[in-house]
Structure 1
């Protein structure tokens, strides 16, 4: 599924792009923190701490039933965020819990949902985002607990990237559920994209696992990257967010 927003709205949003771009990947655990409380405001507080312009989220919707968003749309709007509309119902924020939020002059140009091979329902999302005169392609995913499935899912995302029109600078981000550095899914992604050597991000209170990953195409200007480990981030979710700061040499 490919779609695009209203062109007049897009032109208005592109009028004031950020000078640099900060993109975040964050498994928000359905907005339930390490204290057991569901407080979506804390998730947005963490994104504000980072200064994020793009947020690629996992577990952004309830898992069962009609999959209500755990981040209310009025709250997002009040905090300056817009969701890429992967879900047409207006109930869910994303697709199988994967969502992309944008602000600060970043506008969705094209977007699609990706079905992933899995025993339980899994998906990924792909969006081309306009930033000033350029385009950034972003893929977000939350891979399976099974190693074999993770490899197949990573390959499926790469196939969709290769088939998508154009060849803009690309970020691939998400919770890959990979505990070992030699995982086939990581090798598959690293063969096509540059893996950023991020520290551990899970569990949030005392991170030991590098489950949250960012991969960048060679044509992206990566200025900085890291794991955000503030006091709020350590309690807002069971994962810490990972982030990358990009120069705006987008094509």
Structure 2
């Protein structure tokens, strides 16, 4: 499928900031299931700095904005072609070893409830692919998709105890469950196009990738009970949502910050 993407993120400051710096991970991944036709990222009033590809193969670009800064607007526009690889990340070039993704973070901390869920889900199954599917299904059943019940700081353990959450919580819980069984797992940020069933969702999306022995990285979207297909656009990955965030920034100054995000994802060819 071919999609057009329009994504605008605006930060507004109550008091003008002296300056601002942004680190952007807003570029489509390069792998066999995805091809960028054209893509543009711009920061209004900003100066583009250096860019690089990190160990996970994701492009990161820096921007700076001189003050006084009352508003920072980051716009993304482009067109991407996708194909369905059943969630398998083929042809993605990276140098980070999968075992690096066994490291826990605050968001993916493994408590007794997560470890118990993983053990029960895996049962006596030893095949790693079957285990991964069982873990994803268990997380889907344990956490109901309920917007507004959690926030960006909610941990996997907290979402599991609550039994409710959004895609970030499903991804964190699945990552923690997989790591508890010694299976490398990571957080993925991207976009999701609306499905034929018409169920509403946010175009900005997140899911998990588990490293399956003999196959490699495979995506699992526990929030939607599936593996990513041609409706997904992959941007970047990390140990958790904070590390994989498409936008990270620092503003120099004091005062409240307001955030506004609009994302439009449209299919132009199927």
Asked if these proteins are the same fold (TM beyond 0.5), I'd say no
Structure 1 or 2, whichever has the larger Rg, is: 2
Q: TM-score of the superposition, structure 1-length normalised?
A: 0.28
- Give the strand-richer structure, 1 or 2: 2
Q: TM-score of the superposition, structure 2-length normalised?
A: 0.27
- Give the helix-richer structure, 1 or 2: 1
